[in-house]
Amino acid sequence: MYFCFSKFSKNMLRTTTCGALTLQNLGENVTLCGWMQNSRDLGGMTFIDVRDRYGITQLVFNMNDNIALCEAARKLGREFVIKVSGVVVERSNKNLEIPTGEIEIKVTDLELLNASKVPPFMIEDKTDGGDDLRMKYRYLDLRRNPVRNNMVLRHKMAQAVRRYLDDLDFIEVETPVLIKSTPEGARDFVVPSRMNAGEFYALPQSPQTFKQLLMVSGFDRYFQIVKCFRDEDLRADRQPEFTQIDCEMSFIEQEDILNTFEGLIRKLFKEIRNYDLPEVPRMQYADAMRFYGSDKPDTRFEMRFVELNDIVKGKDFPVFDAAELIIGINAENCASYTRKQLDELTEFVKRPQIGATGLIYMRHNEDGSLKSSVDKFYSEEDLKQWSQRMETKPGDLVLLMAGNTDKVRKQLGELRLEMGSRLGFRDKDKFAALWVLDFPLLEWDEESGRYHAMHHPFTSPKPEDIAMLDTQPGEVRANAYDMVVNGTEIGGGSIRIHDRELQALMFKHLGFSKEEAQKQFGFLMEAFEFGAPPHGGIAFGFDRLCSIFAGLDTIRDVIAFPKNNSGRDVMIDTPSLIDDKQMQELKIKTVL
């Protein structure tokens, strides 16, 4: 993926870039700057590839023309920085893979701008550097085309997002980074205040309350591409600082948000990937759980769950008889799976991360016969019922799991994804988006023994469900929605509460005392008393969105300077100790 530097303005050190010259430029005198990618000595000739962000251009030096120049060229090491002038000539040995592959520069002047030590790994699309080395020398890793291209993609996406929202009269407003700590939700990073000793700022986990205040202010449509912070133990692919596309709208209903931001995502796919994303289907949270065992189903393939309780129970198979739910998926054209392959799948679901006790299967053989792993309990007639329910055809394989409803759905969801991968349904260049709607308002937290807000405490309940807040809080649905792409949640939001009484009621149900609610969110509840408009919004995980567009598995690769799993930047070596003087000024002490 090379870059078109169309508007390059000639400057003091160079007249063009290493990605620009073609047969159109034959005979021109040019000056280029860049890095020595590699060199080849062929008898009296030396060929050098010089590289910059825009491409690669071949330089040629001839012993017969200028011995000194040629010898200077031969002394250049990998990654030396040079400035060369010369004439554009046609290449005899053309490389049609790159835009500059039909020309070379017959060099008349060579200036060494900077030397380089031998880099610790190859600066090539496929490098020999291990992860640790590449993180320590991130500035060298960023020289590699695939890594830099991720940053270019991210840049293009950010500009495209802003253009789309600006066109719809959204206003980008910067909200503060030094804000107030709130114990609710994930852990805050805090910043000791020197001028207010003993007190702390917090870094925002999101600009949630500020964007709601902007709605109270009548900003009507707000957005921001903004850094957020969360001091969590880092699982794979979490970063302590991450970026959100944060948006809020007033005088709208859920439908307006869905339409506006579906438009954004489809536009991005078209503009960045030239991909025509169809209209985004919508699914209830409850259905997502029922059919895919996940609130973020990968809908690049179907393979929906089918419930079998009514036809498999009561046949003396103790596993099924004891189970709350028996569900299956039809893995089409997999009847030929070998014993070994089926054992692998059983091992897969038995892994501690998944935790199932076993897997039942039924082959619908090519000859039409049905064969299950529990033939002891089920007759051919029974299996025919299975086949009908699962809509199998000859050649298909049914995989069944049983257990507690929530657990077995999650487990079969994992197996479904595994089968999708095995069957090649999870192509990174194919995209399936989905709106998941009507999330529960609250979720039970085992640890604290109380309900937590599933989205956040500012999400509005469905009016028709408010009455259940006291009796069946877990059943109350929220005006909350997620957008899912390829099985990953890329964004989520809700219609907010804009009424002080309802907000106070929510805090009460979340276990806040009146005093706590007032201390932490009094300013917001007070704001609601001065004419807050109905409003709602959404936030997209920008790192995740970029990684999906780049076809990557991890967000780390779309972040210029990421931190490792211990929250360290190993390149600059931080966090680190600070001066005693600074600790004294801040009036804090470390207690290890």
Binding to a second copy (CB under 8 A) within 496-555 occurs at 498-499, 523, 527-534
- Residues 114-133, interacting with a second copy (CB under 8 A): 114-117, 119
- Residues 331-360, interacting with a second copy (CB under 8 A): none
**C-alpha to C-alpha distance for 439 and 31, rounded to whole angstroms:** 60
Q: Closer to a second copy at the Cβ: 113 or 322?
A: 113
Q: Give me the DSSP letters along 263-308.
A: HHHHHHHHHHH---PPPPPEEEHHHHHHHHSSSS--TTS----EE-
425 binds a second copy (CB under 8 A): no
Q: Closer to a second copy at the Cβ: 161 or 415?
A: 161
Shortest Å distance, C-beta 309 to a second copy? 40
Q: Closer to a second copy at the Cβ: 381 or 515?
A: 515
Tokens of 538: 């959404």
Give 532-548 as a 3 state SS string.
CCCEEEEEEEHHHHHHH
Neighbours of 24 (CB within 10 A): 10
Select the residue interacting with a second copy from 131, 251, 278, 366 (CB under 8 A): 251
Select the residue interacting with a second copy from 45, 87, 98, 187 (CB under 8 A): 187
185 binds a second copy (CB under 8 A): no
Q: Closer to a second copy at the Cβ: 138 or 452?
A: 138
Q: Closer to a second copy at the Cβ: 209 or 459?
A: 209
Tokens of 407: 């657990």
Site size toward a second copy, by CB under 8 A: 135
**C-alpha to C-alpha distance for 226 and 240, rounded to whole angstroms:** 14
Residues 6+ positions from 435 with CB-CB distance below 8 Å: 258, 262, 280, 281, 282, 283, 481, 482, 483, 484
Q: Closer to a second copy at the Cβ: 213 or 383?
A: 213
Select the residue interacting with a second copy from 200, 348, 377, 425 (CB under 8 A): 200
State the pairing for strand pair 480-485/200-202: unpaired
108 binds a second copy (CB under 8 A): no
Shortest Å distance, C-beta 477 to a second copy? 19
Q: Closer to a second copy at the Cβ: 229 or 507?
A: 229
Q: Closer to a second copy at the Cβ: 31 or 294?
A: 31
- Residues 45-64, interacting with a second copy (CB under 8 A): 51-54
Select the residue interacting with a second copy from 90, 253, 316, 443 (CB under 8 A): 253
Shortest Å distance, C-beta 526 to a second copy? 8
435 binds a second copy (CB under 8 A): no
Cis peptide before 575 (omega within 30 of 0): yes
Q: Are 264 and 164 in contact (CB under 8 A)?
A: yes
**C-alpha to C-alpha distance for 319 and 408, rounded to whole angstroms:** 13
Q: Closer to a second copy at the Cβ: 130 or 355?
A: 130
AA letter at 434: L
Distances (CA, A) of 12 to 88, 113, 301, 370: 20, 14, 55, 77
Task: Name the one range near a second copy by CB under 8 A: 7-15, 101-109, 305-313, 386-394.
Answer: 7-15
**C-alpha to C-alpha distance for 394 and 330, rounded to whole angstroms:** 12
Q: Are 442 and 509 in contact (CB under 8 A)?
A: yes
**C-alpha to C-alpha distance for 422 and 415, rounded to whole angstroms:** 10
Q: Kindly state the helix (H) or strand (E) to which residue 587 belongs, with its residue range.
A: none
Select the residue interacting with a second copy from 1, 235, 572, 580 (CB under 8 A): 572
**What is the 8-class DSSP label of residue 262?**
H
**C-alpha to C-alpha distance for 187 and 204, rounded to whole angstroms:** 10
**Stretch 154-183: interaction string toward a second copy, x if CB under 8 A:** xx--xx--x---xxxx-xxxxxxxxxxx-x
Q: Closer to a second copy at the Cβ: 189 or 377?
A: 189
26 binds a second copy (CB under 8 A): no
Q: Which residues pair with 223 in a beta bridge?
A: 172, 247
568 binds a second copy (CB under 8 A): yes
466 binds a second copy (CB under 8 A): no
Shortest Å distance, C-beta 47 to a second copy? 20
